[in-house]
Structure 1
């Protein structure tokens, strides 16, 4: 393999890893947000306001 094709191979691998990592992070964040939203709606409005202030 020439240096150029090797570089291209590494670059595409890094890109794939970044994309997969990004997808994983996004799905995790989405799940957490949904969970927080459910928790917030199940609580009384005052409790969720207090929670926002703590954050």
Structure 2
């Protein structure tokens, strides 16, 4: 296969994946999402982080 054909196939597959993901995913509720930058916000760390003993 030639490089231009592979490039077109790649971008078509990527766009198809994004379209599929957008179509089947639940809408994002911005009020329940964590802040984008939570470093130094005073929020306690959660999850399986190594420093949580």
TM-score of Structure 1 vs Structure 2, range by shorter chain: 0.3 to 0.5
Compute the TM-score of the two structures, normalised by the length of structure 2. Answer: 0.47
TM-score using structure 1 length: 0.45
Q: Which has the larger radius of gyration?
A: 1
More helix by share: 1
